Structure 1
Amino acid sequence: MQLRDVILSGGPAPFRYLGGGEEGLRRPVLAAVTIDLPDPGRFVSPGDLVLSGLVWLRPDLGRADAFVRIILEAGAVALGAGEAEFGNVPDELVRACERHGLPLFAVGVDVPFGPVAEFVARGRSGARVGNLAALVDRHRRLMASRPGSGAGAGALLDLLLSELDLRAHVLSPTGRLIAGARPPLPERTATALAGRFLAAERSGRRAPHRTAAQGVPYSLFPVRSAPGAGPALTDWAVAVEADSGDWHDERIGLVERLAGLISVERGGRDADRTARRRAAGRLLGLLDSGGTGTGARDRVRDAAGRLAAEAPGGAGRWQAVAARLDGVPGGDGPSPVRDLLEEVLLHPACLGPGAARRIGLAAALDGREAVAFVRAAPGAELTPEAVREAACGALPRGLRGGERLSLGLGDPVADPDDLRHTLAEARSARRVAAGTEAEAEAVAVRGTADMAAHVMSLLPLLPAEVRRAFSRRLLAPLHAYDRRHQSELVPTLRSFLEHDGSWARCGEALHLHVNSLRYRINRIESLTGRDLARLEDKMDFAAALRMD
């Protein structure tokens, strides 16, 4: 806004331009400040239009020169002098403005300063919105031509923060802070806002969604999973610390466009995730193929190495995490469960201190279950408690009645040869999480310890003869084989279970080469018709050994 715009805003009567020339009329006005103090310097900022009723000038007109010099040194661009005090603008003030080159105009007796300041503020806000809209449009065109080449969600938010004087944050559906103002939102506030956003979106309410947390108003704008897509459980949200109920349509539209840009930026960053998923998909396919020969093991090791390269995190142990979303209407369409699982595992509770865990993701063969392979730094293995904290905060608010998200974790394994075991455990734990015992939970998480503790606690409730019969029936072939061949299949089975199905650790404990251990385990599976890669069968063996 220029000084000319202010003087012409009230028509010919209220304002009279007294000096400053044509160049003065072109000076940009950033704000308006009302001052009636003889020493106003500390209240004036560069770009200010100073409005004064001239009370400070009576009775000593000699103060005019000092006043003009002070406000000019502070950065004032013009002086609007009220005529109510003297009936006109004193000549002494006019001459002082001429000497110092400060544009001067008279404000009529009947014109209050408040509306003048409001006019300047509105004009500045409109100019800001217009300039930011142009920046957003340019960025949108860039993103359309070069996906993923933008400055990121953080830089886009900086436009909003700096140009519209707003604090804003980008949140994942689990409440993870992706970008935003400093200081960041408290974790509990972020989780609460994400949950309210999901609930509002799934109820069909129109955005922006207005709410409040800790006494602060927020307006929640959706960042769609894909540009132009409809509402989804995997949408992010822009949480603006303001009540958009007082905004004009142009301002709301601007934030919506910015949210759309973040959506484009989000989609453009998927190249590395696609590579991880491709590597994890190959590993999953090899594990599901059931091959156990030397060639199959080498292929699994190679696929695990490729996944580790795509999601580097240093040496560590592997874990599998399985997830499935059931009860969603239109269940024949693509399931969002893979994206949901990724959002859960990217939550700080799951990543661990210093992002100590790295993930690779793949969709299971039935298309409804997702599997993640987590590679954790030593001592940072993933726990059901961490997954529960990440998944059960905000996500349940986005699930309608009958919709359930179930997650299961396998135990950590150090050797890629043991990946099939942690995968089987994760899938079994997920099936338990989805079972009838967890029907009241919209999001249920289970690990192998949860399952084992549950099953073992039920054993004393069975009649003694039933327990003995179960143990004899399952272990009898192994005891008979050991007696006949002077072998140690039963002790081998016990050690294998005690070492969580780890070939390397079990072989070391028994002083056996891994190939010899594999021969014994294969013999155990052949004699009993069970599969020690399945968690259910391992639990049956553990129960039988306890009763043996």
Structure 2
Amino acid sequence: MEVWSTVVSLNTVVTAAGLSIVGETARPGRDVTGIYLVDRADIEAPITSAPGPLRDRLLVLPPALTAPIAATSQEFIASLVASATRQRAAGIVLGGEAESWFIELCSRHGLPLLTQQLDPSAGAKGRGPTLDSLRALVATELRRQFTTSSLAPAADGVDHLARLLRLLDEGARSVGAELHLDIPGALVNPFVTLSPAFRSAALDCPVMAVKDLPYEGRVARVDVGRPGCSLLFTRSVPTAWPHRPVAAVVAACRELVAEAAVSRGTRSMMEHTFMRELITGDSSAVGPWAETLGLPPGCRVTALVINVEDVDSAGCTAVESAVHDAALASLKPAVAATREGRVLALIPRTGSVRDAVLDSALDSLGVRLAPILARPVAIGTSSCVLTAPDDLVHALVSAGQMLDRELYRAETETARTSDTRGLPARMKVPLVAGLLSEEASSTLSDVVLAPLLRNDGRSGSSYVETLRTYLLLDCRMAETAEVLGVHTNTLRYRLQRIEALTGRDLHVTADRVDFYLALTLRDIPHQGSAGVGGNSAMMR
């Protein structure tokens, strides 16, 4: 089972954990993006079902499983090593001595084998390289990276980012568990990222007060006084919770969240004014203002445009707040404001490990916004290097265009699912159809469509459906070809055959009208003037 993931150098893990490399030498600079703890579920699974994903993961074989695996399940080990090699795992960590056949197997596959000597005094219960010890090692390295890299430029609220960094760091040490601040727009902890399965299980836990904290457990979610906000405590093994340290961390988090909410409200007015001047005013005059808000010259900026059409002001404010939450995941501020049914946002990037944290938060932003807006959320993104304020405008325009494409794809998909053919079940009925007698309607259908129907029945062609789709899409070639799933040249050939079989020209308006009327009357039973007129009104 994979319990957590992050990014750290393999050489750092080897040096800090006191591991020895047996056989294949680890490649310098190789990154470890997570740890996969091999448990009994993997051993009992069929040999053909490889655990994963294993790319750039360290596979840890706990000492409790090592002895029985080496003695009785060499077939499982061979399958595990083959899977790790195929999926480009970073290596295997083994507690205790590795047997010669195991060393030879890893060496043959070019897979680094890392071992750690057990404490002889611990006997068979020696712990070796446990998941917690390796996770603590990687978290320490990431804390160092985040601490030595600069935070955002001086701006209102940046002090809260630095305080949050210290809270997550010191709180993890005092409680003996990883801390994540769960807020509407993100799950914040730049040091350690929970695996999707463990994260989902943790977020399913109910939020409770400190006084209701159970005696022990692996996961706990504690309320911190803001709606939709909690502090998540996680660890790999269920042990007793230290109630006093937990209470102290929660109290500090409550204070920080309350102060940050006030600061965010004050900053919001500045952001709205900045965005208005950037879009509608003299953008060259907002350069110094951008730096004050955390967008310094030369930085790379991600632009977001989120569709909030028909959303009330409270919903728009909630979306803006969620964008700030997503930026907070990488300890960066955001600039967000609502204009004309869209939330516009700018988030600075650092070019460091924090960018991966930000990307992860942005990837899940749409999922987190869906419950807030009670509908699927469309987001357009773009980026730029800030050399002049106009760069921000261009990035927002590009993000808006990406959003328009996303909305168009969604509308097209909705149209395609309206019936099995991807188009409305019936064509819109022109009012003139109600003036035709039943005999005239039958004659029109026979004269115009009969040649196509005969050919479709005889040769299996689909000329009637092609004609119907072409007219429904207002004779747009590219869209018709896309809906039909054919090349435009194929569509062009079909239309030429339709004209040849019927003796009519699709470029002539009168012939198009005849085709449209014939197909319309074929779709519905003739009901006279009143019936068709009513149907027309309904369909429009």
- Highest CA radius of gyration, 1 or 2? 1
TM-score normalised by the chain length of structure 2:
0.37
TM-score normalised by the chain length of structure 1:
0.36
